[in-house]
Chain A
Amino acid sequence: MKIFILLSYYKRLIFRNPKLYFYFITSFIVYFIVVGMLIFLQTVETLNLYFHRLLIFSYIFQFYYNHLYYGLGWESSFRHFVAFQIRMKNIIYMYIFLNLSYFVFSFILIKAVSLTPWLIVDYSIFNIIILYFIIPNLLFLIVFPLLTIYVDLFNSKKGLVIHKFYGFPLLVLTIAFPAMFQYLWSNFSVGPELISCLSIVFTIIVISRFSRIVKFWEDRLLQIKAE
């Protein structure tokens, strides 16, 4: 399916659902507050802030709100259209594409405001791509459907169920994984090689088992509300 069809669907999903405005605007504002805060902190030279940390923060909001909340359809009322016409595989591709766009946007923005030098440490470009693009996307592919096992995410009576039950674990996951890998990368002599190998192996597993992952997503979506 052509990406522009999916993006047009996504655009309408966001801009035509008043319930989503709050979350969209919040994530947008918080993103720029974080950017502003980091610029300020760097100006007063109180902390040596890494480019990466900004990406972690910004990523949380992209990952948490846009992907999980807008997810497969905020309302359960059109999940059969998603499953039957658009198909889950394409939805996953769309989110990965959006992640990539957001990642590139963050990268350019940071460069434009000269927040930090272009490359901070050795292998910096690989570090950023692996830790802040590949790993969160792999988490997204696997963690989201797993989270839906026990709770009906789309039950309108519990509209904020993701916040109530998953907000904290998700924040921990999205911060903890990149932070942990970042620590390993920076503090061990073979850290970069180790993380790179892990990511490659993980990516290969996901690609080779992609149809199973898609099937799992589909099952989760269709099982969410038994009729």
Chain B
Amino acid sequence: MNIYIEKLDISVKKFHLHCHDLNFDVGDTFLITAPNGSGKSMFLKGIVGLVKTSYRKIKINGVYTNELNLSKVIAAYLGEEFLIPFYEPMEYFELIGKIKGLDDSQIKFAVEGISKMFNQEWPKKFIRDLSTGMKKKVGLAGSLIGNPQIIMWDEPFENVDDEAQCLLRQFIENDKRLIIYSSPVRDNLPLSRVLGIESGRVLIEQ
């Protein structure tokens, strides 16, 4: 499983972001790091087609993204807009499972897995009534349902408690899938590559 960005151009008002000829392979972990407001989230949203792009040619396993149902291959959590405020966390997980075509037992198994991963019992409250950190946990956990091979997270460590940060770091270190995540600060995780954004261009730093 790999993502190949042939060319990606995003222009929103005065903001421009350009990226071309980038390859992400399964088993690798990528960190996109840049100062706040430089376009990390925009870049990730551009890959999954959630912002209007002026040019977007991206292949996943050799197939252009416009021919794919991306939610089946990519686990994305790129902000609170991925949550449904009037659902409870368990209902949200079930909805994602059903959308991805899982049956009840598979959903139950997946939810057990993510609950264990986050060492968490999910509150029986609407998502809109949860704290910012809990919302993030629900979003990150929900994105993993259905066992997709590519994971894209926007600032996963932001707002979550120490324990969850630790668990997330372990997950990123040990998981064998392709993980792309953003952070305004550089982590000490063993990363395959670090991407930076300089003057609106996405560049490989190492």
Contact = CB atoms under 8 A, between A and B. Distances in A.
Contacts of A5: 95, 98-99
Contacts of A2: 98
Contacts of A75: 85
B105 interface: no
Given A78-B81, A222-B52, A226-B13, A84 B76 contact: yes
B86 interface: yes
B51 A81 contact: no
Contacts of B130: none
Contacts of B49: 83, 218
Contacts of A81: 81-84
Interface in B91-150: 91, 95-96, 98-99, 126
Given A16-B126, A87-B69, A80 B50 contact: yes
Contacts, number: 66
A223 B80 contact: no
A80 B13 contact: no
A9 B95 contact: yes
B70 interface: yes
Contact of A84 (B12, B41, B50, B52): B50
Nearest to B78: A80
A85 interface: yes
Nearest to B87: A12
Secondary structure at the A interface, as helix, strand, loop or mixed, is helix
Interface residues of A, number: 27
A86 B99 contact: yes
Given A16-B126, A84-B76, A223 B52 contact: yes
A78 B86 CA distance: 10
Contacts of B31: none
Contacts of B71: 84-85, 87
B70 A84 contact: yes
Which of B80, B81, B96, B126 has the most CB atoms of chain A within a 10 A radius of its CB? B81
A5 B92 CA distance: 12
Contact of A227 (B42, B82, B96, B99): B42
B200 interface: no
B166 to A, nearest CB: 28
B81 A17 contact: no
B60 to A, nearest CB: 14
Contacts of A134: none
Contacts of B85: 75, 77-78
A79 B81 contact: yes
A75 B78 CA distance: 17
Given A12-B87, A75-B85, A80 B79 contact: yes
B48 interface: yes
A156 to B, nearest CB: 13
A222 B76 contact: no
Interface of B: 12-13, 41-42, 45, 48-52, 69-71, 76, 78-87, 91, 95-96, 98-99, 126
Given A8-B95, A227-B41, 6 more contacts: A1-B99, A12-B86, A78-B82, A80-B81, A84-B71, A222-B50
Closest 7 CB pairs of A and B: A80-B81, A16-B86, A226-B12, A78-B84, A5-B98, A223-B52, A85-B71
